[in-house]
Amino acid sequence: MTHDKLPFTPAKLLNCLSFLEHPILLLNGLSGVNYTSLTVGQSSHPPRFAILGHKPLKSLKVVKDTDYSSLTVYPDTQTSTRFEQPEHFISGWAGIIHYPQSHASEPEGLFNYYDASIYLDFESDECFLLSHYPLTEERKKELSQLREIEPQKTAINARKWTPGWTKRQYQTAFERVQDYLLAGDCYQVNLAMPFFCGDDLTDTNPLPLLEAFDAPFSGFFKNDRYWIATVSPERFVKVENGIITTSPIKGTSPRHPDPKCDEANRNQLLASEKNQAENLMIVDLLRNDLSRSAEPHSVKVEKLFALESHANVHHMVSTITAKQKASLTPIDVVRNAFPGGSITGAPKVRAMQIIEELELQNRGAYCGSMGYFDDSGLTDFNILIRTITATKDGAVCWGGGGIVVDSTMDDEYQEILNKIGKILATPI
């Protein structure tokens, strides 16, 4: 692996994030490590690092099944060397996969091939250029050039966000879901609604949003048409040294500024039979999803009903692992499990049909995934929840939750606001 120190700090690099060429930023390398600030010295628990790719050698739109075969090592850098798997992305394909819908206008996936990445070390306040391959001096110089951007000096106001549905429209969709549940079509349906902002945010730096949350699977992706910023708390799937891991979230409780009330909310979530039942449904679904890519009898539930606390909510999280079939690639593993069961419902196919019937807009990137296929075989993808997609025509942020028979409309609607309220209130 090559390792070259760069002549700028993480702060300088992040300041021009929106003006880099086709960048992807992975906070803590999508490793699942919590953080509270991207600025060194502002927090007692800053992130260890971030990984950034820009100026890719190649871009790929995945519009049909066969396109996934192109997600292999870029021909100019092919080598017979077997790389030792690092703890984070270094070089390879990285990008996003949209939530699949029959009437979607976007391609299924957008990936860039990065022959190198920049390691932002927040502890030493240094940046390093990393690659699995020897880089030419010309390529090193190209990847080291930054556009000079003046830091934002004026205060940024919170944006105005408008619900895409009225509460009455949400109630109508909720009641229709209940009809399907009572008829036996599904056990759980993840119903979501969008919130819109009319401002052009495409040249806006999303750093304030990323700084405002301690989300372990945060990231940023930008192409010529839009950017996606996510403060996702959820891992979709990781493949590391032949072990597949997924960590679905089901069960949410709001944070409270009073420590005693906050502790009560935590305990109430952990003791909730309803949330445990919802979580277990998705655990069973994902055990089945992983079994498609796993060696026989290797699927295990490592953690059940664990608690994770974030900036605005507590979550109930379970973890399932499996041993990867030797005949399959990490790309096969991701495709076999996509989309994540926690954001569809169960059974998955019928739940997705109901979602497509009831939701009035395409989800786009929401409930898809952001992540990478490193050239070493290391693979990691999040689930794109708590996510803003920004185009020149405006921005959208979705919120949703799993509905079961004993769900109530008011509680589910409030849960949506609990999940994304702080995102919508964050000035960017």
Q: Can you give the pTM of this predicted structure? A: 0.92
pLDDT at 74 over 80: no
DSSP state of 233: -
CA torsion angle for 70, 240, 144, 136 (degrees, to 10)? -60
Tens digits of residue pLDDT in 99-135: 998 766 666 899 999 999 999 998 899 999 999 999 9
pLDDT at 348 over 80: yes
Q: What is the pLDDT at residue 82?
A: 62
Report residue 14: phi and psi, to 5°: -70, -25
Q: Determine the average pLDDT of the residues in 64-75.
A: 70
Task: Catalytic residue, from 106, 108, 234, 359: name it.
Answer: 234
Residue type, 102: S
**Closest to 126 in 3D by CA, of 29, 3, 1:** 3
pLDDT at 44 over 60: no
Q: What is the pLDDT at residue 64?
A: 72
DSSP state of 393: T
**Which two structure tokens, joined as six digits, stand for 261?**
């009330």
Active site residue 126: no
Give the integer Cα–Cα distance in Å for 109 and 59.
11
Q: Determine the average pLDDT of the residues in 165-185.
A: 98
Lowest mean pLDDT among 50-54, 196-200, 202-206, 256-260: 202-206
2, β-bridge pairs: 131
* Percentage, residues of the chain above pLDDT 70: 89
Q: pLDDT category, 303, cuts 50, 70, 90?
A: very high
Go through the domains of the chain in sequence order and give each one's CATH number: 2-147+160-425 (3.60.120.10)
**Which two structure tokens, joined as six digits, stand for 264?**
């009560």
Give the integer Cα–Cα distance in Å for 428 and 423.
10
Task: Catalytic residue, from 106, 108, 211, 250: name it.
Answer: 250
pLDDT at 297 over 60: yes
* Percentage, residues of the chain above pLDDT 90: 73
Active site residue 234: yes
Q: Determine the average pLDDT of the residues in 58-78.
A: 73
Taking all residues of the chain, what is their mean pLDDT, rounded to a whole number? 89
Q: Following DSSP, what letter does each residue of 282-345 receive, concatenated?
A: HHHHHHHHHHTTB-TT--EEEEEEEEEE-SSEEEEEEEEEEEBPTT--HHHHHHHHPSPGGGTE
**Closest to 143 in 3D by CA, of 15, 23, 18, 1:** 23
Q: pLDDT category, 332, cuts 50, 70, 90?
A: very high
DSSP state of 85: P
